[in-house]
């Protein structure tokens, strides 16, 4: 199974990514706003990367789907302001990314950075600067290690822009923590195998909201399961009405949100929902299941450590339902218009 192999060898690839981006020269021009963009998984990556970038550097950052850049330019680009547009695409051939780069070309106030797993592509040729993770070469249709590594690359990039040695030191530890997380795949298998659970909800706040969106997409792509994602506390404002005893809620825990997370878990459990917590938790935290992740690094640098568990859950559920994760229905590796 290509998908399985690409999930479980992420630690080695992350180490290569850290070494590569760590040695790169970083172009740091004056900029009013960073715009992170992509399609599908790459857009969800952009959501997390933009929030991370703003948190680490103190500079304004946002995320938009790539199509917004050429369909609704005035809602994204402010005339007279300096922008850096970070274009994210595993293949480097995504149609909307190419259209966006062509549409923005010639604007003196816009610089572009391509982040891709294929440096020899039209996207890379059209961008002003490139982060090419050529060591990532997925054979599977769904994005797994490419998501984790491109996000990680942008985290290292942001830490270098900020000159934050503390963040770089924490990010340096991530491959080891990911390797540890990969030893716990049995923890999700029982939940994946339980066919009484019909509906899956993924919750994450701040820069973890992009991870929740991506986890939802992975499960949907591999299994066609009914699933949704929300910012954690927003789930209480309406969507919680769908919770019953066939519902699994997976909450991406952070140290800084622990007290609010516990109230949310209890609200969901009162309605019959089954709650799985992934992340560091304080002593005495209660949920139906807890997969503990390291708190040896700060919340803002732990993103990649969550991904193997979320990806393995989707993979295991697909196997239980009799689907082939390498050949998801209605999907191809590259989407072109």
Counted domains in the chain: 2
119 and 210 share one domain: no
24 and 136 share one domain: yes
134 and 217 share one domain: no
List pLDDT tens digits, range 84-113. Answer: 999 999 999 999 999 999 999 989 999 999
Residues of the chain with pLDDT under 50: 330, 333
186 and 47 share one domain: no
pLDDT at 282: 84
pLDDT at 72: 97
160 and 97 share one domain: yes
Long-range contacts of 328-335 (CB under 8 A, 24+ apart): 328/141, 328/142, 328/221, 328/222, 329/224, 331/141, 331/142, 331/221, 332/141, 333/91, 333/138, 333/140, 333/141, 334/91, 334/93, 334/94, 335/39, 335/40, 335/94, 335/95
pLDDT at 98: 95
pLDDT at 337: 59
pLDDT at 324: 85
154 and 282 share one domain: no
Q: What is the CATH number of the domain that holds 145?
A: 3.40.50.10490
Count the Cβ atoms, other than its own, within 10 Å of residue 29. 8
Gyration radius (Cα) of the chain, Å: 19
List pLDDT tens digits, range 60-81. Answer: 999 999 999 999 999 999 999 9
187 and 315 share one domain: yes
186 and 163 share one domain: no
Between CA 251 and CA 223 the distance in angstroms is 20
330 found inside a domain: no
149 and 32 share one domain: yes
Token reading at 321: 């339902």
Count the Cβ atoms, other than its own, within 10 Å of residue 326. 17
198 found inside a domain: yes
pLDDT at 334: 52
Domain of 153, in residue numbers: 2-172
């Amino acid at each position: 199974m290509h998908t399985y192999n690409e999930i479980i060898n992420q630690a080695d690839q992350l180490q290569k990514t850290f070494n590569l981006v760590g040695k790169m020269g970083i172009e740091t021009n004056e900029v009013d706003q960073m715009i992170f963009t992509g399609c599908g998984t790459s857009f969800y990556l952009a959501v997390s990367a933009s929030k991370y970038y703003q948190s680490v550097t103190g500079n304004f950052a946002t995320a938009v789907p790539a199509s917004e850049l050429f369909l609704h330019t005035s809602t994204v680009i402010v005339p007279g302001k300096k922008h850096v547009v970070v274009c994210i695409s595993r293949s480097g051939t995504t149609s909307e990314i190419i259209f966006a780069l062509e549409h923005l070309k010639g604007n003196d106030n816009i610089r572009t950075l391509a982040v891709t797993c294929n440096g020899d592509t039209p996207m890379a040729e059209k961008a002003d600067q490139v982060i090419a993770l050529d060591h990532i070469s997925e054979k599977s249709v769904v994005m797994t290690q490419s998501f984790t590594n491109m996000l990680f690359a942008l985290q290292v990039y942001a830490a270098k822009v900020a000159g934050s040695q503390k963040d770089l030191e924490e990010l340096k530890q991530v491959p080891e923590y990911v390797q540890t997380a990969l030893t716990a795949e049995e923890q999700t298998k029982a939940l994946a195998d339980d066919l009484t659970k019909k509906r899956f909800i993924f919750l994450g706040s701040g820069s973890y909201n992009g991870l929740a969106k991506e986890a939802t997409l992975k499960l949907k792509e591999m299994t066609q399961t009914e699933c949704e994602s929300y910012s954690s506390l927003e789930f209480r404002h309406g969507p919680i009405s769908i919770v019953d005893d066939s519902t699994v809620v997976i909450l991406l825990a952070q140290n800084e949100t622990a007290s609010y997370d516990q109230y949310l878990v209890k609200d969901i459990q009162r309605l019959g929902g089954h709650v799985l917590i992934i992340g560091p938790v304080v002593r005495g935290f209660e949920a139906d299941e807890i997969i503990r992740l390291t708190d040896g690094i700060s919340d803002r640098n732990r993103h990649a450590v969550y991904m193997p568990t979320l990806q393995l859950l989707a993979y295991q559920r697909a196997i239980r339902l009799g689907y082939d994760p390498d050949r998801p229905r209605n999907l191809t590796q590259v989407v072109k218009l």
